[in-house]
Amino acid sequence: MKSFFRFAPVAALAAAILSVPACTEDYFDFDRMQDEIFVWNPDLAFPLVFSSLTVEDIIVEDDENQYVTDSDNFITLVKTVTVFSETLNEFLRLTSPQGLGTVVSLNQGEIDQFTGSGQVQKVVSPPYTLSFDNVSGAELQHAVFSSGLMSIHVTSDFQHSGSLLVSMPELRLNGLPFSQSYPISYTGGVFDQTFTADLTGYEMTLNSGGGTHSIPIFYTVLLQNGGGAVPNTGNSVNIDHSFTTLDMAFADGYFGQFDLDVPEGVVQMDLLDNGALYFEDPRLRLVVTNQIGASMRVNVQHLYGQGDAGLLPFDYSQAMGTPFIIAAAPSVGDSSVQSFYFTRTNSNIATLVNGQYNDLFHDFDATVNPAGQSYNFASRNSTVRVTAEAELPFWGKSNHYIFEDTLDNPLAEIGDIKDNIEQGLLRINTLNGFPMDGILKLYLMDSLNNVVDSLLANGEYTIRSGPVNSNGRVTSPANTNNDIPIDTARVNTLFGAKYLIVHADLTSTGNAVENIRIYGDDRLQVRIGLQVKLKASPADLEGL
């Protein structure tokens, strides 16, 4: 095939041009862009753009948005959003800090024993009750702590030394009950000291100390005569026993009957915002996963679409009755799962997705243990979770859907030759595998990302779809070629631009009347070359 370019016979200039860092493929071949020989003879030619726009340019994947393909490579966009999620320690919030205060003093008989024998021992046993912020009526049996700090603040105004033994037989680590002796040292003045213990890994057996959520604590105060003033009934050892940063690794028993705090929220349904799309078969799935051994009754207070079109009540009655019951997890580490699937046949999800309703507003309330007392359990990572999965199979229509690709301008580093250019020509070649027609534009941006000019802005270049089969799939990509002259001013702006934006405005086949399908291997390839005629001969540019 005969080339339609005449390259400058100047070695230095040729080397300079070939060294231009362009966003092109190595195999960019101007000869292959058009079969016919164009009679306008340029002095220089530059590869300008090679862009391949695929479905990845439609869908920005992140933690919420993912696209999946079937065996035929047909695409479905899936957006997964967590509507509600709570773990054990949110479900049952332990009060922090919490604790009890105890005063140990001596009666006259105990004082007489101290002065007679030189020592006295006194045991007190106030029950400790575990408290919660958000529940009432609960009757826990066990709580295992993944973290927590126990502080024992001791003051004594006895003028004698001794010890404080703290025993908690229902607080165990590796089966051994908590028991620790702390010194009380009189050195003049009031004894004042705080002792701490890490509760990580401890198991607390509750309801064994005389009340709900209570455990027994035994304080044994031992005083030995150290020669100080004789004690009186006004002297005391004060114990401030507190628990902070308690976090449960496991709990069981009865969690109580209470309303679960389910915050209002929205699920974004306008998943693609760069063009008008009509989806023939949109779907929404609500998945309730319960890893907590407690059932719940859920009632829908509000569920409606909202957006520029106003409010649209969501018709969910065929797919989901209300109220409905979420079953308890059958065992620790297991879960119960319940799904509600909304389609165009059992709801108005298609109207919501394809209308101007960008969000699905939801407001639920839930009651834990609606049937009353039962055995409940949960581990630290157990959750009750509701997720919404919006599924958009790429089957439908598009109206002025926008593809864009931003590239570095390969001419930016050789802008010195622009003053010697008399006229220019863009040679454009597209290979379109999407079942969509449209127009191509080329925007020029400066280093601050401001658009300074646009080429092909008047629709000079048309993109055509290839033939489409009965399933809405292109059977063979369509190739389109065109040559667009540009004046000197536009050429100068092109050489001065920092970035190029390839902008394709596409509408589905049949002017957005016929349904089409998008597949993972669909793509639009755009190749653009620039040819220029020089005011001077190429040899005169050798010194530039």
Q: SS3 for 3? A: coil
107 and 231 assigned to the same domain:
yes
Q: Are residues 242 and 283 in the same domain?
A: no
| Structure confidence at residue 260 (pLDDT) | 85
Q: Is the peptide bond before 323 cis (omega within 30 degrees of 0)?
A: yes
Angle at alpha carbon of residue 111, lines to 105 and 117, rounded to 5°: 130
Same domain, 432 and 513: yes
From 337, 372, 393, the end of a domain falls on 393
| Same domain (yes/no): 84, 231 | no
Tokens representing residue 209 in the block: 């100390």
Output the pLDDT for position 7.
Answer: 32
Task: Give the pLDDT confidence score for residue 220 in this predicted structure.
Answer: 98
Query: How many angstroms separate the Cα of 438 from the Cα of each of 428, 455, 523?
Result: 15, 16, 14
Q: Which of 376, 393, 410 is the last residue of a domain?
A: 393
Task: Count H helices and E strands in the chain, helices first.
Answer: 6, 35
**What span, in angstroms and rounded, lies between the C-alpha atoms of 207 and 140?**
7
| Same domain, yes or no: 17 and 130 | no
Length of the chain: 544
Q: Which domain holds residue 423?
A: 11-59+398-541
* 187 part of a folded domain: yes
Give pLDDT, residue 511.
74
3-state secondary structure of 27: coil
The residue among 219, 254, 289 that closes a domain is: 254
In a domain, 438, yes or no: yes
The per-residue pLDDT for 328 is 96
* pLDDT value at residue 274: 54
Task: Report pTM.
Answer: 0.73
Instruction: Give the pLDDT score at 208.
Output: 55
* CATH code, domain with 370: 2.60.120
Which residues pair with residue 247 across a beta bridge? 147
In this prediction, the residues of the chain whose per-residue pLDDT falls under 70 are 1-42, 58-63, 208-211, 271-276, 415, 536-544
Number of domains in the chain: 3
Q: Is residue 2 part of a domain?
A: no
Helical (H) or strand (E) element with 364: strand 359-368
In the three-class reduction of DSSP (H, G, I as helix; E, B as strand; rest coil), residue 360 is classed as strand
pLDDT computed for residue 9 by the predictor? 32
Structure confidence at residue 349 (pLDDT): 92
Give phi and psi for 286, each to the nearest 5. Answer: -100, 125
Is 70 inside a domain boundary?
no
Q: In this structure, are 302 and 247 located in the same domain?
A: no
Give the per-residue pLDDT at 271.
64
